[in-house]
Structure formats: structure tokens, C-alpha cells
Amino acid sequence: MHILGLTGGMGMGKSTVATMLKKAGLPVFDSDETVRRLQADHGPALPAIARLVPDAVQNGRLDRAVLRRAVTGNPGLLRQLERVIHPMVWAARNRFLAHYRRVGTPWVVLDVPLLFETGGQKMCDHVLVVSAPARVQAARVARRRGVPMAEARKLIARQMPDARKRRLADTVIETGVALPETRRQVRCLLKALKQ
């Protein structure tokens, strides 16, 4: 079984490309979705989060605004939360990989926004970075988050720069183009992977 690592900054169109890969028949492990499940009402991560930020968990529900405020300006707390969440995500990822290895699937996808930052690329046979021009990315983030462009650019600036991700990639798919062109790029990638 081969592993395709899929990554890219916020607003780059990673979810769109992941959906295209799913429709093409590749199983996709979505780390963001896994985090949402872990943090859902009465989710398995909530007791540990409550120990770190008691006000953020009330009656088995996570108050994301309280958690966000607690983490803002406190990198130490963010690292503590990552030490709680990341192992849970990795365990889910390992179960996903074990399942598809058992059934003999030729390619699976690990959709991980922080693939390079967490060293996840080391377990991948091929790394795909999804990219778009900076103005397109900022507009997407501003629209999705409901924030001004300046705030969107600040959020983006906290991430690994796109240029660095592109240099580390085996393949880059551009999403700042018409959707049919992105689909064409995905088809080309799938053809190359099959060879």
C-alpha cells in the first residue's frame, strides 16, 4: 500500500482536492474531521482539554471561543493541547492505515494540514501540496471565517509559508484556477500514481 500525503495552507482548496481524490476511489483520512470528532459533544478529547482549560468545557461541550481566547498569546498552552490531541489523531490515522493495508488498497490519502510541521511526510510515498495565489487564499479565508482581509492575512502568516511547502512537495496542484483545470491536474496525478 502507498500513502499520498495531502497538505496545504488554509484557504488553498485542500478539501476540494480531497473530495476529488475520494470520488476517484482513494480512501482519505481527514485529520481535521478527526479533530472535530474528538472535540465533539462528550468527545474523547474533552476531559483532557477540561484539565488544561476548565472554562472551555461545560456539560460535555467544548466552547471554542473560550479555548481560542485561552490559547491566543499562550504558545505553551497550545503545545500542551497539541500533546493531548495529536496522539489521538495519530492513533486514528494508524487504525485507518492498518485497515486499508489489510484489505490491500493500492493508494490511500492522508489529508493533514500540518503534514510537514509534524514530520508526517516521512511516512508518505508521495506528497501533494495544494496551492493558490496569496490574494485568492486570503479572500477564501476572509470569506470562510467572516473576517477582514487583514485578519485573514494574519491567520495565514502563522502557518508555514506556501513557497516552502511547494519546495518540499513531490507534486503541486494549483487551485487558483477554474475548477475543471484543478480536476485535470488531479486526473494527471492519479494517472502518474497508477504507473
Tens-place pLDDT, residues 111-153: 999 899 889 999 999 999 999 999 999 999 999 888 889 888 9
| Domain-wise residue ranges, the chain | 2-194
Does residue 27 contact residue 109 with C-beta atoms inside 8 Å? yes
Has residue 158 got a pLDDT over 80? yes
Better pLDDT: 111 or 176: 111
Grid coordinates standing for 144?
A: 470562510
123 is in an annotated binding site: no
Residues contacting 99, CB < 8 A, separation 6+: none
Taking the C-alpha atoms of residue 111 and residue 72, their distance in angstroms, rounded to an integer, is 26
Q: Binding site annotation covers 16?
A: yes
15 is in an annotated binding site: yes
Question: Could you tell me which residues come within 8 angstroms of residue 147 by beta carbon, excluding any fewer than 6 positions away?
Answer: 141, 155
pLDDT over 90, % of the chain: 80
Q: What is the rounded distance in angstroms from the CA atom of residue 78 to the CA atom of residue 107?
A: 33
- What distances in angstroms separate CA 173 from CA 36, 75, 80, 82, 177, one per listed residue? 26, 32, 33, 29, 10
The CATH T-level fold of domain 2-194 is Rossmann fold (3.40.50)
Determine contact, residues 104/136, Cβ cutoff 8 Å: no
Mean pLDDT of the chain: 93
Q: Contact 10/32 with Cβ under 8 angstroms? A: no
pLDDT at 69 (0 to 100): 86
Say if residue 119 carries a ligand binding annotation: no
pLDDT tens digits, one per residue of 78-111 = 889 989 999 999 999 999 999 999 999 999 999 9
pTM: 0.88
- Determine the pLDDT at residue 65: 87
CA distance 144 to 152: 10
Q: Are strands 2-7 and 126-131 parallel, antiparallel or unpaired?
A: parallel
Q: What is the mean pLDDT of residues 167-172?
A: 96
pLDDT band at 38 (very low <50, low <70, confident <90, very high): very high
